[in-house]
């Protein structure tokens, strides 16, 4: 996308926009990797969501074992007002399939989808005012961590 307005999505966090790892900004994905460093056990946001995934045959135990060394970061959603990320999307292999897992606040699994070869990817911000804001905000946050 160019300087046109990003595709806003509404969430509990207000308006959000998506960014893809391959198009950056690099500072955003550096920040995501920094905050998500280290293996950990992921949680589910509700028992109902967990039951639905079990019924669909999703390999729950494997997907709860998050390890950024073995998972691929592909995207992040940010709040458009703050430029801070609210969730990150990762791809992992489990049960002889590839899975797209969206991880939100407090290591909570928000979405799980089987990844097919021709899976559509959401629109992502690739330039413009919001892109610059997100790059700046996350660069400053990383500088503060140093």
Say how far apart CA 56 and CA 77 lie, in whole Å: 26
pLDDT of residue 4: 35
pLDDT of residue 122: 65
Residues 6+ apart with CB under 8 A from 73: 21, 29, 32, 33, 36, 88, 89, 90
Residue-wise pLDDT tens digits, 131-140: 999 999 999 9
Residue-wise pLDDT tens digits, 54-97: 999 999 999 999 999 999 999 999 999 999 999 999 999 998 89
Q: What pTM was computed for the model?
A: 0.85
pLDDT of residue 9: 56
Residues 6+ apart with CB under 8 A from 66: 36, 39, 40, 41, 42, 90, 101, 103, 107
In b/e form, how buried is each residue of 10-33, taking b as 16+ CB within 10 angstroms?
eeebeebbbbbbeebbebbbebbe
Average pLDDT of span 21-26? 95
Say how far apart CA 48 and CA 111 lie, in whole Å: 13
Helix (H/G/I), strand (E/B), else coil: 82: coil
Is residue 146 very low, low, confident or very high in pLDDT (cuts 50, 70, 90)? Answer: confident
């Amino acid at each position: 996308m160019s300087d046109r307005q990003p595709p806003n999505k509404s969430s509990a966090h207000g308006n959000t926009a998506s960014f893809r790892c391959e198009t950056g900004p690099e500072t955003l994905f550096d920040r995501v990797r920094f905050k998500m460093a280290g293996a950990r056990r992921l949680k589910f946001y509700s028992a109902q969501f967990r039951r639905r995934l079990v019924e669909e045959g999703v390999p729950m135990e494997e997907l709860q074992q998050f390890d950024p060394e073995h998972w691929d970061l592909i995207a992040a959603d940010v709040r458009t007002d703050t430029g801070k990320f609210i969730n990150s999307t990762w791809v992992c292999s489990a049960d002889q399939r590839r899975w797209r897992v969206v991880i939100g606040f407090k290591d909570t699994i928000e979405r799980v989808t089987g990844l097919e070869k021709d899976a559509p990817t959401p629109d992502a911000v690739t330039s413009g005012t919001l892109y610059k804001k997100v790059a700046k905000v996350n660069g400053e946050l990383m500088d503060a961590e140093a």
